Amino acid sequence: SAPIIYVVTPTYRRPEMVAELTRLGQTLTLVKRIHWIVAEDSLTCTAPITGLLQRLGLSYTHLASPMPEVYRKERYVPRGVSNRRAALEWVQEHGSDRGVLFFLDDDNAIDVRLFEEMRPTETVSMWPVGLIGDYTVSSPIVKDGKVVAFYDGWPAGRKFQVDMAGFAVNVGFLKKQKKVTMPYIAGHEEDGFLKSLGLSIKDIEVKADGCTKIYVWHTRTAKNPSRALKLEKHQNDNIKV
């Protein structure tokens, strides 16, 4: 049977949450052998998300792991790290060695063809991500079938200049590494994680037709602060009732 893909989606409560997860979750129902790990930045799991997961019929795990308060106060907040870490631990403990780990943030859009690209990953595979930064795309640069550099609008001294949705990791390979972690450093979560895998650039598996195709985008749903305030008021009013 085909390797299972463990799709890790960090998320947090705001007016757009249910909409984002409905859209992503329904995309995932088009794909075979997926296990969706929805990891909330929260103390508890949110009821409408539990309902959604039950209805979708996917194999899933619903986790909650809040960001430690100290990081919320930072100028650049490392978003989604505590919850991704919780999901990572879950995969290290329960994941099948033949499986594949993939981080998919809740504000991304994905073409289901990407899943069949990443499914045979033996160590770490990479591909382009659309709608990233000023360059509009972030991609490995490929020469003779190998990654030689990265094209990314925000190099920031990173060894691996990739977006969270731009790579997948074989679970057996992940489990063999001793110090796997994701740092609480905004903008360096991917690079720190990939470095912790002891990965060399020469070992990266190239996907999406030599990194010439875009199958995932960081679309970023617009946030509306006044909508968020209304939701908060609504929830507070409900608690008072």
Task: List binders of Mn ion among 93-112 (CB under 5 A).
Answer: 105, 107
Taking the C-alpha atoms of residue 158 and residue 145, their distance in angstroms, rounded to an integer, is 22
* Shortest Å, Cβ 24 to Mn ion: 12
Applying CB under 6 A, among 71, 107, 158, 214 the residue interacting with ligand UDP is: 107
CA separation for the pair 85, 4 (Å, rounded): 19
| Annotated binding-site residue? 218 | yes
Q: Is 78 in the site for ligand UDP (CB under 6 A)?
A: no
Give CA–CA dist 118/126, Å, rounded.
8
Give whole-number Cα distances, 26 to 22, 170, 232, in Å: 6, 24, 27
The interface partner of residue 106, options being Mn ion, ligand UDP, none and the CB cut-off 5 to 8 Å by kind, is: ligand UDP
Closest CA to 61 of 101, 30, 23: 101
| Residues known to be catalytic | 190
Residue choice 27, 83, 121, 125 for contact with ligand UDP (CB under 6 A): 83
Query: Would you count residue 170 as binding ligand UDP (CB under 6 A)?
Result: no
The entry of Mn ion, ligand UDP, none near residue 83 (CB within 5 to 8 angstroms by kind) is ligand UDP
Window of 100-108, 133-141, 143-151, 232-240 that interacts with ligand UDP by CB under 6 A: 100-108
Place of tokens 């463990």: 6
Binding residues for UDP-alpha-D-glucuronate: 10-12, 41, 79, 84, 105-107, 218-220
Kindly list the residues in this chain that would bind ligand UDP in the complex (CB under 6 A): 10-12, 41, 67, 79-80, 83, 105-107
